[in-house]
Amino acid sequence: MDIIEQTNLHIMPTYARNPVVLADGHGATCHDAEGKTYLDFGSGIGTMSFGYCNPKWAEAVCEQVNTLQHTSNLFYHVPQAQLAEKLCQMSGYAKLFYANSGAEANECAIKLAKKYSTEKYSRNRNVILTLVNSFHGRTITTLSATGQDVFHQYFYPFTGGFRFVQANQIEDLYKNLDENVCAIMIEYVQGEGGVMALDETFVQEIRKICTEKDILMIADEVQTGIGRTGKLFAGEHYHCHADITTTAKGLGGGLPIGVCLADEKFADVLNSGSHGSTFGGNPVVCAGALAILNQITPELLNEVQEKGDFLRRKLTSLEEVVSVSGLGLMIGIQLKTKTAAAVRDTCLKKGLLVLTAKDRVRLLPPLNISRQELETGAEILCQCISAS
């Protein structure tokens, strides 16, 4: 039986998959089962930040697999401690919690905010403001936090206590603010929502309100974190340090991880028994993530910015392109007449993998993509966008 048939027969149909069976890859290049070569400008939705089978990551993972593949969180181990120290040093946060995905990292942030506020004020202070058009995950609570009606169907009852504010509208922010708000949760760049960057004045207003009213500012950097936008965290573009930052995708290099980082003031709110995970902070995953983090250097971050600028220049010069959004190597392309899905499908035929987000073509190429690969992929993309 062929792989696509076997998959469709036995796996629930939750994904709109491309009709391609991927077999192997190296760097920004991968091959399908028939040997066709593709350049990947999606990195598995931004997870393989250093491409397929990054040698340093692969070496760290393989070594750890052969040393200690797992312990429960009832014991200590080296990769967890080393990764936590490195991530806290690089980000300026005091402590973190290890989860297995972006949604789980956000669940942790939401629980932390509610516990802090319940203990210090009252259990009524449990409302979290999130933004219209946001995306925070697929668990019932993170779906409830997601500000898109399309996700608020079927799975009743949703978790209560979320209010949705129009992005960049300070007036709407104040309209939704009252004594029951315990947190404000944002993505600096709304990824799934179409690669839409927030205005700095709006972000700064949120920071100010949160500081003044002892409300937790939560930055969901699941997609924007770990160098994707040309900074370790996108908050740096906004000169903003959130009380809590969650991140996931790019940290794992392709293995499942999520983290919830907290400032000193909130670092011990979730104590023994109030949160946990069987696999969170797994040694193999952490060893790989540490190898990823060690490669996020100032030079690499500058390159990410330059490569993003190169793609922006190429794309904005096209007649068919209305606008190019996002930061660094997180790019959304709004088209005049073509649909994003049509461009994605044409690119696939021509050997280039791209993503879509809402009505936009979305690019999340590996951070270390070579200049040559970037130019080749950009050429294919421009042709596909411009073809009549």
Ligand X SMILES: Cc1ncc(COP(=O)(O)O)c(C=O)c1O
Active site residue 336: no
Active site residue 149: no
Distance CA 89, CA 99 (A): 19
Residue 52 sits at φ, ψ, to 5 deg, of -70, 135
| Sheet of 321-327, strands arranged across | 321-327, 330-335, 360-363, 355-357
For residue 204, the SS3 value is: helix
Which one of the listed residues 164, 249, 266, 307 is annotated catalytic?
A: 249
For residue 374, the SS3 value is: helix
Per CB under 6 A, 344 contacts ligand X: no
Q: Which residue is nearest to ligand X (CB)?
A: 102
Helices and strands: H and E segment counts in the chain: 12, 17
Per CB under 6 A, 187 contacts ligand X: yes
- In angstroms, give the least distance from the CB of 375 to ligand X: 28
Per CB under 6 A, 222 contacts ligand X: yes
Our CB check for ligand X shows the closer of 192 and 303 to be: 192
Per CB under 6 A, 184 contacts ligand X: no
Q: Which amino acid is at 253?
A: G
- In angstroms, give the least distance from the CB of 256 to ligand X: 7
Distance CA 25, CA 54 (A): 10
- In angstroms, give the least distance from the CB of 34 to ligand X: 29
130 to 169: interface string for ligand X, x by CB under 6 A: -----xxx--------------------------------
Which one of the listed residues 115, 220, 233, 243 is annotated catalytic?
A: 220
Binding range to ligand X, per CB under 6 A, among 16-24, 50-58, 129-137, 204-212: 129-137
For residue 323, the SS3 value is: strand
Per CB under 6 A, 103 contacts ligand X: yes
- The neighbouring-strand residues paired with 163 are 129
Residues 6+ apart with CB under 8 A from 252: 47, 285, 288, 289, 292
Which one of the listed residues 41, 97, 135, 202 is annotated catalytic?
A: 135
Measured between alpha carbons, how far is residue 139 from residues 100, 245, 303, 374 in Å?
A: 13, 18, 35, 35
Binding range to ligand X, per CB under 6 A, among 60-68, 97-105, 119-127, 262-270: 97-105
Distance CA 303, CA 349 (A): 29
| Interface pick for ligand X out of 64, 80, 101, 141 (rule CB under 6 A) | 101
Residue 253 sits at φ, ψ, to 5 deg, of 65, 15
> Is the CA virtual torsion 88, 93, 96, 101 positive or negative?
negative
257 to 296: interface string for ligand X, x by CB under 6 A: ----------------------------------------
| Interface pick for ligand X out of 51, 191, 253, 377 (rule CB under 6 A) | 191
Per CB under 6 A, 220 contacts ligand X: yes
Active site residue 249: yes
Distance CA 175, CA 30 (A): 49
Per CB under 6 A, 196 contacts ligand X: no
Per CB under 6 A, 203 contacts ligand X: no
Per CB under 6 A, 38 contacts ligand X: no
- In angstroms, give the least distance from the CB of 145 to ligand X: 9
Distance CA 308, CA 299 (A): 14
- In angstroms, give the least distance from the CB of 257 to ligand X: 9
Closest CA to 353 of 41, 24, 13: 41
Per CB under 6 A, 235 contacts ligand X: no
What stretch of H or E contains 384?
helix 371-386
Contact residues: ligand X, CB under 6 A: 101-103, 106, 135-137, 187, 191-192, 220, 222-223, 248
Residues serving a catalytic function are 135, 220, 249
